Amino acid sequence: MLKRIQAWDNRILTKLSEKHTPKLNRIMVLITTTGNYGYIWFALCVPLIIANKFRLTGFTMILAMLITGLTGEITIKHIVGRVRPCNREFGKDLLIKHPAHYSFPSGHTASSFAVSMVMLLMLPVLFVPVIVYACLMGFSRMYLLVHYPTDVIAGAVLGIICGTVAVTLSPYIPLFTFLAF
């Protein structure tokens, strides 16, 4: 079963690598770079936290990203230990800095979908642009050959779960936010 999944992953990445163009390369590098360390999502948190009406949503986004990072980056990646596609058969001309850690699950995708879930449940007016960007984030990771499709799918599922957990815990956040202001 795992060999079939790996073969499916490889077929998709092979097809994606055949579609590279200079313009699309620049766009995908830009999208993926905004996801490094959750920069795009922290940038979105700032105005939400500043606006009293949306402060809880901003702090819930941070909590969702923390839960996602602890679960995906620190725990699951090291348990699974999946080698990235750029370290295997797709190691040609990497367009971004070589990622240091394991592949499964995609952390960029997980944090993006965690934020998307927070938006869906707490601030639905922002959900559509955030989920579109989250999907582009996941796609960029495959396009740039640093994640397999199953890494991205697992990252999306993990993000949805962690975002839901963060929203469930959000009623307890006001107990701590008064320290920030």
**Dist. CA 32–CA 34, nearest whole Å:** 5
pLDDT for 83: 83
CB 42 within 8 A of CB 69: no
CB 31 within 8 A of CB 137: yes
- Which CATH number applies to 32-171: 3.30.1460.30, 1.20.144.10, 3.50.50.60, 3.30.460.20? 1.20.144.10
Kindly report the CA angle at 88 between 84 and 91, in degrees rounded to 5? 90
pLDDT for 178: 53
Residues sharing a CB contact under 8 Å with residue 129, sequence separation 6 or more, in sequence order:
none
> How do the pLDDT tens digits run along the chain, 181 residues long?
788 988 888 889 888 888 888 999 999 999 999 999 889 999 999 999 998 899 999 999 999 999 999 999 999 999 998 888 877 766 567 777 777 788 899 999 999 999 999 999 999 999 999 999 999 999 999 999 899 999 999 999 999 999 999 999 998 877 655 555 4
pTM for this predicted structure: 0.89
Provide the terminal-to-terminal Cα distance of the chain, rounded to the nearest Å. Answer: 53
Single-letter residue type at 6: Q
The residues spanned by each domain of the chain are 32-171
CB 166 within 8 A of CB 159: no
3-state helix, strand, coil in the chain (%, to 5): 80, 0, 20
DSSP code per residue over 53-87: GGHHHHHHHHHHHHHHIIIIIIIIHHHH-PPPGGG
| Token pair 């969702």: residue | 64
